[in-house]
Amino acid sequence: MKLQYWQCFIGLFFSCCDFAAAMPLPINSLSMKGILGQQTAVKENHFKQALEPRLFQFPQDHLAHQAYKTEWWYFSGNISTDSLNKSDKSRKFAYQFTLFRFALQPENLSRENSQWRSSNIYMAHVALTDFENQQFYQQERFSRDGLSLAGVGKNDHGFLQFWLNDWQIKSLQKAQLFPLILTVNNEKFALNLQLEVIKPLVLQGAQGLSQKSSKNASYYYSYTRLASRGNITIGKKVYQVFGESWLDREWSTSSLGKDQQGWDWFALQLDDGCD
């Protein structure tokens, strides 16, 4: 069997995990481990925890859950210049884009209605692997949600949108996540991809409750097959690309026990249609 995803996750995912595990955050200088594992904040700040299976509701659950402290939208995929991905002469790439939300306080504690007020810190990370040239590109950004510098929600026309400055995900159908356009631009490379569902979402763990330790869990679902097409730009060169992507979606308040540094995970897309 041909494993479609090992290159993507070994080539770039673990680099992303490494920076996340030790990443300093502008929230009282807490590390990622502190954000995911801190128990005191749960009681003092009244954040909810993922304790038992829940009924998922869409499209609302595609958006932010302010009652929980941490969540992310994690896209990754293998794409190439050959629509059938079989030509030896095709240029092959792998990409990853993740948007993280870190709550500063739960929604029920917000007392002010000011466009300057920030309730969340957002972080976005993007990576691109160029296999032919053996090049790996990556960039990350941070921003607060005040003044609409970053955020998640519906626009005035009912389309879902996710953004950090000009890095954006926009749905193309009202009240639906897919199809969507993912747009990322920086000085070295750019992504402009359209993603559409091939297979329905999967609830991970026990009906969507993913246990990370005996007392810590997250709500977690995935779209394991997303038809992907569009353009990537490296320097001044533009490539028309095709392929398949994967979306992991999680939110929680405390996901790590005291004896845990983090966790690793990977995804496989097999050529017989299994994921």
259 belongs to a structural domain? no
Residue with tokens 């939300």: 101
Record the tokens describing residue 223, joined without a space: 């779209």
Residue 29: pLDDT above 50? no
Q: What is the pLDDT of residue 19?
A: 30
Grade residue 255 by pLDDT with cuts at 50, 70 and 90.
low
Record the tokens describing residue 189, joined without a space: 């490379």
Grade residue 215 by pLDDT with cuts at 50, 70 and 90.
confident
22 belongs to a structural domain? yes
Residue 152: pLDDT above 60? yes
Q: Which of 134-148, 151-165, 201-215, 250-264 has the lowest mean pLDDT?
A: 250-264
How many angstroms separate the CA atoms of 180 and 247, rounded?
12
Record the tokens describing residue 20, joined without a space: 């996340």
Record the tokens describing residue 201, joined without a space: 């979402």
How many angstroms separate the CA atoms of 43 and 256, rounded?
16
Burial 103-141 (b: 16+ CB within 10 A, else e): bbbbeeeeeeeeeeebbbbbbbbbbbbbeeeeeeebebb
- Whether the Cβ atoms of residue 91 and residue 128 lie closer than 8 Å to each other: no
Q: Look at 27 and 186; give whichever has higher pLDDT.
A: 186
Q: What is the pLDDT of residues 173-194, one digit of tens each?
A: 999 999 999 999 998 999 999 9
User: Which residue range forms the structural domain that includes residue 241?
Assistant: 6-106+115-252
Give the chain's domain count: 1
244 belongs to a structural domain? yes
Q: What is the mean pLDDT of residues 61-66?
A: 96
Give the CATH number for residue 32: 2.40.370.10
User: Please, what is the end-to-end C-alpha distance for the chain in angstroms?
Assistant: 12
Nearest of 263, 244, 251, 254 to residue 54 by alpha carbon:
251
- Tell me the pLDDT of the chain averaged across its residues: 83
CA–chain centroid gap for 73, Å, is 3
Q: Look at 262 and 55; give whichever has higher pLDDT.
A: 55
Q: What is the pLDDT of residue 86?
A: 62
186 belongs to a structural domain? yes
Q: Look at 97 and 13; give whichever has higher pLDDT.
A: 97
Looking at residue 191, its amino acid is L
Residue 171: pLDDT above 60? yes
267 belongs to a structural domain? no
- The pLDDT > 70 percentage for the chain reads 79
Q: What is the pLDDT of residue 71?
A: 95
Q: What is the pLDDT of residue 139?
A: 96
Q: What is the mean pLDDT of residues 58-71?
A: 95
Q: What is the mean pLDDT of residues 6-35?
A: 39
101 belongs to a structural domain? yes
Q: What is the pLDDT of residue 4?
A: 45
